[in-house]
A and B are shown apart, each in its own frame.
Chain A
Amino acid sequence: MAVVATKAVPVERRVGVGATVRQTATLAWRSLVQVKHNPWDLLDLSIQPIMFLLLFTFVFGGAISGSTGDYLQFALPGLVVQNALFYTLSTAIGLNTDISKGVFDRLRSLPIARTAPLAGRIVADTFKQVWAFGLLMGFGMLLGFRVQTSVAGVLGALALLVVVALAMSWMSVLIGLKASSPEKVQMIAFSAMMPLTFTSSALVDPVTFPAWLRAWSEVNPVSYLADAIRGLLIGGEVATPALVSLLWAAGFVAVFAPLAIRVFRTRV
């Protein structure tokens, strides 16, 4: 043991693709297995969307749409979008926690692919997104929501949500790397995501908005995503809002991926 490897001993110079995938899977496992010890974590992930679903349906439903059933049919796709967008920030919270606890440094000191810690977390968060989608759909259907398209429509909605959420997770990574504490991330999440989703067509029809707000809601990317998901679940126009959503997603990646990667590389 006293002998330190010299350059004569072949040491792998870099991490291969297979190893990168394995390391990503291990780190995704690590994020998911936590749920086993913290059923609260899963509850946390589940309670908020269900609470929103119940509150919106039964408190506002009658006032907004005349009946809770009509409103649920309109709002569930929007709630699904809202929840998915909120949830992208859990990537930031998890990453920031790792950084502040020193786990991130431990991982970076290991001979593993540089991308594995990020990729592992994003893979795990994608699983959680799918769970939350299934949960909201299931609960919504218990309350009377009916899919008016097809299974393909539902799968399409899920696929679109996951793609957009993945694109947004680049922003989340940037916030996670930059924020000084996990609490700060929560605050950013709340103060950015709340207004963004509420001023879109996700939860109400923007016709009653004042003109200036309506103008904003028409360019708000959340409106396009909500319209696309609504179209995929209960029928209506899909092509344009889905395309615009994907363009927004591409824009997000183009702007935030290079920034996040730069910060990731120079992170001290």
Chain B
Amino acid sequence: MRYAIEAEGLAKRYGETTALAGVDLVVPPGRLLGVLGPNGAGKTTAVRILATLLAPDAGRATVGGFDVVRESHQVRTLIGLTGQYAAVDEMLTGVENLLMIGRLLGLSRSESRARAAQLLDRFDLADAGGRAAKTFSGGMRRRLDLAASLVGRPQVLFLDEPTTGLDPRSRTDLWGVVRGLMADGVTVLLTTQYLEEADQLADDIVVFDHGRVIASGTSDELKSTTGAQVLEVSPLRADQLGLVAKVVEAVVETPPEVANGKVTVAVHDPQVVPAVVRRLDELGVVASELALRKSSLDEVFLSLTGHRADAKAVV
């Protein structure tokens, strides 16, 4: 078996709404696939199908070689799922939440206890383990939720927007945990709206929009698919911003974006950099910043879809 997760032509409709319109994806064992896309792109629907919670209308998918529809029980023995919201029983303590999962998975009472203690320790929840989960902070609940999905030592883990709504520190902590799992050889499919998250964690990325995969590849490959690097120039004197914009436009022959005291433009030919520098020098403009960098995933997303990826901007 070549792939831990393999999906072909997955489609799902809810009445008039098409959630998935034929999605193909593969994840080799031990890799992390980042599924990137705005709200409503079909990410969660894809995860729910792969995690056996939802049957597709068309297409097929296997996890660990087992068909997610016909062999759903076997699939469930291999997977762990952490959904968009922390799926913990708020009335139970942290320990009890994990004990419950352990017992459900057929571990003995003492094995369940040992596993719960081990996971609480690993997720920095040992002190809070005896408290009801409803007293936990958002970050603690997410960690408990993730711990719950690891009780059965899954080989394939689905993380559906695991950091949505978390503060930056909790997010960074969670990234650390995911990296730890990767080191254990777990295959992960992670959905996210955050380009930075995919950039940080994913070996491979697929970009979803309107229920389709519109791009796929490594982070670097995606960044180069726009065929562009980005030139950024900030003048030392703010009143020269307009002048800099004119210079850049004249050299690059595309209208740049001017914002936050910075002129930004996609460039296809690195030769333009010395030309811009020369021209600015002739005009006596001093640049406080002048850089050529790879386009960010955000810019890739914009060029692929025509809209930005952050949740606010999504219609």
Interface residues of chain A, those whose CB is within 8 Å of chain B, are 1-7, 11-15, 19, 22-23, 26-27, 29-30, 33-34, 37-38, 41, 98, 101-103, 105-112, 116, 268
Pair B4/A13 contact, Cβ less than 8 Å? no
B contact residues around A13 at 8 Å (CB): 71, 73-74
Cα-based distance from A268 to B17 in the complex (angstroms): 14
What is the distance, in angstroms, from A130's C-beta to the closest C-beta of chain B?
A: 21
B51 in the interface (beta carbon within 8 A): yes
Pair A105/B155 contact, Cβ less than 8 Å? no
By DSSP majority rule, is chain B's interface helix, strand, loop, or mixed?
Answer: loop
Pair A4/B64 contact, Cβ less than 8 Å? yes
Interface residues of chain B, those whose CB is within 8 Å of chain A, are 1, 4, 14, 29-30, 48, 51-54, 64-66, 71, 73-74, 76-81, 83-93, 96, 100-101, 103-106, 132, 148-149, 152-153, 155-156, 184-187
Cα-based distance from A4 to B184 in the complex (angstroms): 13
Pair A23/B104 contact, Cβ less than 8 Å? yes
Pair B132/A106 contact, Cβ less than 8 Å? no
What is the distance, in angstroms, from A104's C-beta to the closest C-beta of chain B?
A: 8
A3-B29 CB under 8 A given contacts A12-B73, A268-B54: yes
A contact residues around B89 at 8 Å (CB): 30, 34, 98, 101, 103
Pair B66/A106 contact, Cβ less than 8 Å? no
Closest residue of chain A to B79 (Cβ to Cβ) is A109
What is the distance, in angstroms, from B50's C-beta to the closest C-beta of chain A?
A: 10
What is the distance, in angstroms, from A229's C-beta to the closest C-beta of chain B?
A: 32
Pair B73/A110 contact, Cβ less than 8 Å? no
A contact residues around B88 at 8 Å (CB): 101, 103
Pair B81/A37 contact, Cβ less than 8 Å? no
Pair B91/A38 contact, Cβ less than 8 Å? yes
Pair B132/A37 contact, Cβ less than 8 Å? yes
Can you list 9 A-B contacts with CB-CB less than 8 angstroms, sorted by A residue number?
A4-B64, A6-B64, A14-B73, A27-B100, A27-B104, A30-B100, A106-B83, A106-B148, A111-B105
Pair B77/A1 contact, Cβ less than 8 Å? no
Closest residue of chain B to A116 (Cβ to Cβ) is B104
**Residue of A2, A15, A107 ringed by the most chain B CB atoms within 10 A:** A2
B contact residues around A108 at 8 Å (CB): 52-53
A7-B90 CB under 8 A given contacts A12-B73, A109-B51, A111-B73: no
A contact residues around B30 at 8 Å (CB): 2
**Residue of A12, A14, A33 ringed by the most chain B CB atoms within 10 A:** A33
